[in-house]
Structure 1
Amino acid sequence: MRSYRVFIALLLSIVASPAVAAPVDTDAIGLETSNFSPAPRSPLEKRDFANQVVFTPPSTYTSWKTIYGRSAQVADGSLLVTWEDYPLVDQTPFPIYRSTDGGVTWASYSQILDQVNGWGMRYQPHLYVLPTAFGGFAAGTVLCAGVSAPSDLSEAYIDLYASTNSGLTWKFVSHIAYGSGPELASNGDAAIWEPFFLMYGSTLICYYSDQRDPAHGQKLTYQTTTNLVSWGGAVDVVADPTYSHRPGMAIVSYLASINLYFLTFENCTSSCLATYRWSSSPYTFNSAPSTLLAPSTGSNPGNAPFHIYYKGKIYLNAAQSSSVYVNTAGTTVWTPVDVGQIESYTRCLEIIKVGGVDKLLITSAGEMSSTFNNYVSVAVVTPP
C-alpha cells in the first residue's frame, strides 16, 4: 500500500539528485550504494551470490527511480526481471531485463508499452508463467499484469499483456479492472493496485488492492477468468470493517504439504505490518482470522510482504528487514535468516533452476523514497 506522503512526491514529479557513491562494504551494503558490482562469476555458477546489479538508473530519473522488482524464469531457462521505472518520459514502459547465465549478468531485452490507453505502464508489474495451456495460450506463455495510468493519475486500469516468445515481444490481452481515480493512496480515491495471479484448476485468479468501495478506505479483492479475456466481478478477499484500515499487497500460494491456501498482506492500521491468513480455498480468505507475523527473534518485518512456498516451507520477506523469514508450513514459528541481499520495498522471491540446482532468486529494486539511490539487484542463494 502506498502512503499519501509518497504519492504527493510522485505527483509533483520530484527529481532526485544522485548521491555521491561511497566506498562499498560488501558485508554491509546499504541502499545509499548505487554502483555496486560484484566480481565477475562463471556462467551458471552454482555458488551463491548477492547484490548483483541488474540496472542502475541515470540521474535524470524521477521520484524513487526504480521500485517493485519482479522476476520470472521462462521456458528456455533464462531469467526475466522487471520493475516500476521512472524515466523522464510521459508514457512509461515496464522494462524487461534478461539473464541467460543464472543471474550473473543482465541485459535489456524488451519492454512492455501501453498499447491501448495512450497512458503508459506505470505501477506494480507482476510476471507469471502459465504452467499449462490456458485461454488459447500455450504453457510457458509469460503474462504481465500491471497498472496503466496517465501521467496526471486521473484514472487507471489493471491491464494484462502476454508474451509467447519468453518475453521478447508483448501483446495486450485484456483489461482486468478499472479505477475511476484518482490513482492515489488516500482514502476515498477510487484507485486499484498490486495485481497477483494464482492458477486454481481451470481458473486464473487475480488478487489486487481495491479503493473503489466507499465502505472501505482499501480492501483486497479478486476477479477470475477462464479465458484471459473476460473477467468476473470483484469479490472481497480481506475487507476490514474499520474504514480507515487498509489491507494491501496480497500474495497467495497453495501449501501442498498441509493442503491449505496461504495469504500474506500488509495490514495497515496505525502502522503497516506483515500479516497472514490460512484457508481451505483461495476464495474464502475473507472469513478467516488474521495473524500478525511474529518472528523468533526481532520484530515484525513491516509492510510490503512477499512470500513463496517451497518443499514444505514458506519463505517471506518484507520492507523493514533484509532477512528472509522461514516457516514450516502449518506452524507459527518464523525464523529470520540473513541471505546478504539488500532490503527493499516488496522484494520478490522465486525458486529457479540454475545448472539443474534449485536456488532462491531474490529481486530488490529499492525503497519508496527519493532520498535513496535505488537500483535493481538480485541474489541467487541456496534456499535456507
Structure 2
Amino acid sequence: MGNRLKRISLLAVIATMFMSLMAVPSAQAATTGSVVYSNPAEPEPFYVRAVELGNGDILTTFTPRFPGNAGWVGMQPFPFYKSTDNGATWSKISEIDPNNYGLNRNQQGMTTLYVLPQQVGSLPAGTLLFATTDWDNSAPYTIHIWRSTDNGTTWQFHSNLAARGTAGTKRTWEPEFAVTSDGRLICYYSDERKQGYNQALAQEISSDGGLTWGNYSIIVGNQGDWNWRPGMPRVLKAKNGSYFMFFEMLGAAPNFAVRFKTSPDGINWGSPTDLGKVVGTGIYRASQTPEVAYIDDGTANGRFYVRGMTDVVSSANKMFTSGDNGATWTQMDAPLTVKGTNQSTPAAWSGTLLPLNSSLLLEVNTVKVGSRNEIRANVAQVDKESSIVSGGIYKLINQNNQLVLDNGGGGSPAGTKVIQWNDLGLDTQRWRLDYRNSGFFRAMNVNNGLILDNPGGATTPGTNVVLWTNNELNTQRWKFTYKGNGYYTSMNERSGLMLDNAGGGAPAGTKVIQWTANSLDTQNWKTVRTDVEVPVNQLESFNITNSFIRYQDGRGKIDGGQYNAESQWKIVGGLADPSAFSIESVSSPGHYLRHRDGKIWLEPSNNTALFKQDATWKLRTGLSSPWAASFESFNITGVFMRHRNGVLEISSISTALDQQDATFYVK
C-alpha cells in the first residue's frame, strides 16, 4: 500500500494546467453542473462511474470517501443514483453494503459499473455489473462482482475475481469490464501482486458470464524497470472493431501522461513493454486517471474524447478529442470545469464521460465546491472539435459583420429588442447557454437575466428578437447547428426561423431578426467561451527530476518542490507582445520572471518598455523533448532560459547539456 499512498499524496495538488496565450479570465464561475451528491460529513467522494440504461435513464455510483484518508474506518455503502433527464436531476435508488456479504466495506473502493451490450453466458444484454476492489489482505480475493437485472434497483452477489497475491502488496486496483470480439467477458485491472513489478496492467477472461475467470496475462508492465507503474485502465471499442485501452503511466516520460494501446479483439495488446501513444499534442497532454468516451458521429472514424485529472491544457475547461483514431489530438471544452484539491482526494479523480447520443456528452465527476468535493453532472453538445457546454458563458459573433449579439443597453427591460454591437467585453454581450432537451438551448443574458425570445411565437420572417422573462416556452429555445470553424446557426423551436443579422454588412445597432434558413453567413454565429478558468502551473526541470522553478530572495532557482507556494506560476499574455507570454508568480501577483544582467529574477512590473521585453518569452517546443517546453528570450534572439548550478539564467544553446538545462515540463 506504500506505493499507492505515496501516489495519493502526490495527487493532493493544484490542478496542473497550461494557460492559452489568448485566454482571458472571467468574473463568472465556470460550469459546475447539477449536484448528484453533496454531504458535509463526506467531503471527499471520488471515483465516479456512470452508464446509460436501456430505457435511456442514467445510473451513477461512486466511493463516498477514500479509506486511507479515514483511517480505514467509517466507510459507507456504495450508493446508486438515477437520472431520467440527461443528468439534470438525480435520486438515490439503491445501495450495496459489502458488510452484508461477509466483506469489510472499510477496505472497499475504486469501483466500476458496466452494462452488458449483448448476452454473455446466461446474462442477457442490459445486465448491470458492479465491481469493487478489496484491500483487505485477509480476504481471499481482491475484486468482488455484483449483478442487477432490474436497472440497479436490486443487486445480487455474482462472483469473485483475482485471488489474493503473495508478492508485492498482494492487491489489485481499478477493474474495468468489456466484451471481447468473440463474445466473452473480460476484466482489466491494475495488479500489484506480481514479483518484480511495481504495478502492471493485467486481464482475465470469463467464458460463462463472469462466474469463473482465467487466462491471466499482463498487458503493460516491465520487470526490468521498477519505476513503471501503469494504471487506471479504461477500454472502448471503435466502429472499426479495434479496442482502445487508455491508461495513466507513472515512471516514463512524460510522467503521469495518459497513453493508449490498441487491440484487434480486446485480448491481444502487443508487447507488455510497448507503452503505446500519449494523448496530447506538443506541451499539452492528458494526465492521470483518464475518463474516456467514443461517439460514432457519422464520420469515417468516429471520435474519441479523453480527459485526465491533472491535464496540461490551455484552460481548466478543456479535454482532448481525436477524429483519426488517436493519430492527432486537439483541445475542446469539456462538460464540467473540474479543478482544485480537497485534502488527499483531488477533484476529478476518475470520473466518467458518457455519450447520450451522437452529439450530446455527459460528464459525471468530482468538483471542488468550497471546502469539499461534490459529485456533479453536466452535458455539452459536441460537434467534431467544437462544443457548447450547458451553463457556459459565451459571446455570439456574427460571421458576416463580426458584430456581437447585445442586449441593447445595460439593465434593458423585458421586451427590449436585441441588437448587434462592437465587442465591448461587457456582460451585456455575454449569454449563458443552458441545455433544455431535444437539442435545444436557452440563452440568458448575463447582464439582466432575461432570455432570448421569439416574441409571441411569431412565425413571420423579419420579426425582431427580444429579451423576455424566463417562461420555459419553446419561443425561448434555440437549436445550434454546427457549420464549422466554430460557427453555428441558431434556430428558434417555435418558428423554425434562424437568428439573422438583418442584412449583409449591417452596422452596429442593427436589430437582430429571425429569417428563413438561407445558408448565408448572416445566419452564422461563432460561440466564444468567456468563463475561462486560468490554470496554475509548475515548471519541472527536464534533467533533474522533481526539481521545479521557484523564486527565493528575488532570484529564479530550480530546486523548488512542486507544491511549494513559490513554485506556482500563471502563464499570461506577454507584457511586450500578447502573442508571446510572461510568467507571473501566483504567490506574488504582479511579479514576473525577467532576465537582467544574464540572470533570471522575480520582480514587480515597473511598466517600462525594457521590463516588459525582459519579462516576455517565446514558447518553443522543448529542445530535448517534444512533450516539454523551452523559453526563448523575447528581446535577445537565440537565448533561452536555463538552469545552471541551481539558479536560472539565460544563455545561447550549443551542447546537449545546454538543451537539457533549457527544457522544462509544464505541469
1:219 aligned to which of 195, 200, 222: 200
Distance 1:339 1:331, change over 3 A: closer
2:232 aligned to which of 223, 234, 249: 249
Question: Take 2:64 and 2:375, find their aligned partners in 1: how far apart are those partners?
Answer: 10
Structure 2 partner of 1:202:
183
After TM superposition, give the deviation of residue 180 of structure 1 in Å. Answer: 4.5
Q: Quick check: 2:201–2:220 contact (8 Å CA) kept in 1?
A: yes
Is residue 139 of structure 1 aligned with residue 125 of structure 2?
yes
Question: Take 1:4 and 1:331, find their aligned partners in 2: how far apart are those partners?
Answer: 32
Q: Quick check: 1:92–1:122 contact (8 Å CA) kept in 2?
A: no
Please give the secondary structure, in 1, of the residue aligned with 2:227: coil
Distance 1:129 1:277, change over 3 A: same
Q: Whose RCO is larger (CA < 8 A, sep 6+)? A: 1
Question: Take 1:98 and 1:7, find their aligned partners in 2: how far apart are those partners?
Answer: 30
Question: Take 2:232 and 2:34, find their aligned partners in 1: how far apart are those partners?
Answer: 26
2:265 aligned to which of 278, 281, 285: 281
Highest CA radius of gyration, 1 or 2? 2
Which stretch has the larger CA shift, 327-336 or 72-81? 327-336
Please give the secondary structure, in 2, of the residue aligned with 1:285: coil
1:125 aligned to which of 99, 102, 111: 111
Q: Quick check: 1:314–1:328 contact (8 Å CA) kept in 2?
A: yes
Question: Take 1:295 and 1:202, find their aligned partners in 2: how far apart are those partners?
Answer: 32
User: Residues 195-227 of structure 1: CA distance to partner in whole angstroms, max 9, x if unpaired?
Assistant: 111111320110000000012010000001122
Question: Take 1:126 and 1:171, find their aligned partners in 2: how far apart are those partners?
Answer: 16
Please give the secondary structure, in 2, of the residue aligned with 1:4: helix
Question: Take 1:340 and 1:78, find their aligned partners in 2: how far apart are those partners?
Answer: 18
Question: Take 2:113 and 2:281, find their aligned partners in 1: how far apart are those partners?
Answer: 32
Question: Take 2:220 and 2:145, find their aligned partners in 1: how far apart are those partners?
Answer: 23
Distance 1:159 1:294, change over 3 A: closer
1:307 aligned to which of 276, 292, 308: 292
Structure 2 partner of 1:332:
327
2:89 aligned to which of 90, 98, 105: 105
Distance 1:159 1:334, change over 3 A: same
User: Residues 84-113 of structure 1: CA distance to partner in whole angstroms, max 9, x if unpaired?
Assistant: 112986453211011112211111111112
Is residue 380 of structure 1 aligned with residue 379 of structure 2?
yes
Q: Quick check: 1:342–1:364 contact (8 Å CA) kept in 2?
A: no
State the number of aligned residues. Answer: 335
Q: What RMSD over aligned residues (CA atoms) do the two structures have, in Å?
A: 3.0
Please give the secondary structure, in 2, of the residue aligned with 1:169: coil
Distance 1:26 1:237, change over 3 A: farther
Please give the secondary structure, in 2, of the residue aligned with 1:380: strand
Please give the secondary structure, in 1, of the residue aligned with 2:327: coil
Structure 1 alignment gaps of length 5 or more:
10-24, 30-48, 182-186
User: Residues 224-280 of structure 1: CA distance to partner in whole angstroms, max 9, x if unpaired?
Assistant: 1122211114211111231221011111222223x4221111110163111111233
Question: Take 2:261 and 2:290, find their aligned partners in 1: how far apart are those partners?
Answer: 13
User: Residues 55-98 of structure 1: CA distance to partner in whole angstroms, max 9, x if unpaired?
Assistant: 1122x32xx62001110111222111111112986453211011
Q: Quick check: 1:273–1:292 contact (8 Å CA) kept in 2?
A: no
Question: Take 1:5 and 1:57, find their aligned partners in 2: how far apart are those partners?
Answer: 27
2:309 aligned to which of 307, 319, 338: 319
Distance 1:190 1:8, change over 3 A: farther
Structure 2 partner of 1:15:
none
Structure 2 alignment gaps of length 5 or more:
11-25, 297-301, 312-316, 339-347, 384-667
Q: Quick check: 1:67–1:366 contact (8 Å CA) kept in 2?
A: no
1:84 aligned to which of 47, 58, 63: 63
Question: Take 2:37 and 2:259, find their aligned partners in 1: how far apart are those partners?
Answer: 31
Percent identity for Structure 1 against Structure 2: 26
Q: Quick check: 1:50–1:381 contact (8 Å CA) kept in 2?
A: no
Question: Take 2:279 and 2:247, find their aligned partners in 1: how far apart are those partners?
Answer: 14
Q: Which has the higher helix share?
A: 2
Please give the secondary structure, in 2, of the residue aligned with 1:383: strand
Structure 1 partner of 2:33:
51
Q: Quick check: 1:119–1:149 contact (8 Å CA) kept in 2?
A: no
2:245 aligned partner, one-letter code: L
After TM superposition, give the deviation of residue 282 of structure 1 in Å. Answer: 1.8
TM-score (norm 1): 0.78
Written as runs of structure 1 = structure 2, the 5 A alignment for 1:231-270 is 231-240=213-222, 241-257=224-240, 259-269=241-251
Is residue 161 of structure 1 aligned with residue 159 of structure 2?
no
Please give the secondary structure, in 1, of the residue aligned with 2:372: coil
Question: Take 1:332 and 1:7, find their aligned partners in 2: how far apart are those partners?
Answer: 31
Distance 1:298 1:51, change over 3 A: farther
1:263 aligned partner, one-letter code: M
Please give the secondary structure, in 2, of the residue aligned with 1:346: coil
Question: Take 1:148 and 1:232, find their aligned partners in 2: how far apart are those partners?
Answer: 19
Distance 1:90 1:233, change over 3 A: farther
TM-score (norm 2): 0.47
Question: Take 1:294 and 1:209, find their aligned partners in 2: how far apart are those partners?
Answer: 20
Q: Quick check: 2:57–2:82 contact (8 Å CA) kept in 1?
A: yes
Question: Take 1:146 and 1:319, find their aligned partners in 2: how far apart are those partners?
Answer: 21
Question: Take 2:87 and 2:113, find their aligned partners in 1: how far apart are those partners?
Answer: 17
Which stretch has the larger CA shift, 214-223 or 130-139? 130-139
Question: Take 1:142 and 1:26, find their aligned partners in 2: how far apart are those partners?
Answer: 43
Is residue 192 of structure 1 aligned with residue 192 of structure 2?
no
